[in-house]
Amino acid sequence: MAENQERIFADGFIIKRRDNAPEFVIANISVKVDEAISFLRKYEKNGWVNLNAKTGRSGNPYIELDTFEPKGKGGSKPKAAEPEEDGNLPF
């Protein structure tokens, strides 16, 4: 997330770590359905919403909208070779 970008906390989601939980239990997540659905609809892109589970300075966990977007729409696909003016490929 860019440093100048404001954090967007995920409405309707609560994450907690219980001290007496077994080690394999990462956290307990509670979802308030109406708030979560509104949040998900507001921020969905192509049917997806990415969230990050983080630990605050207080030591408490929270869930935040992942606003990262890769640069360039094509991802890491190599650019296809285009024919030169005379119709020949450049290789």
In contact, 7 and 1? CB cutoff 8 Å = yes
> If you ran DSSP here, which 8-state letter would residue 45 be given?
B
At 22, the amino acid letter reads: P
Mean pLDDT for 36-53 is: 96
At 64, the amino acid letter reads: E
Q: For position 72, what pLDDT does the model report?
A: 80
Q: Cα dihedral angle (21, 23, 25, 27), rounded to 10 degrees?
A: 70
pLDDT greater than 90 at residue 51: yes
Q: Which residue has the higher pLDDT, 6 or 80?
A: 6
> If you ran DSSP here, which 8-state letter would residue 88 be given?
-
pLDDT greater than 80 at residue 39: yes
At 85, the amino acid letter reads: E
In contact, 13 and 30? CB cutoff 8 Å = yes
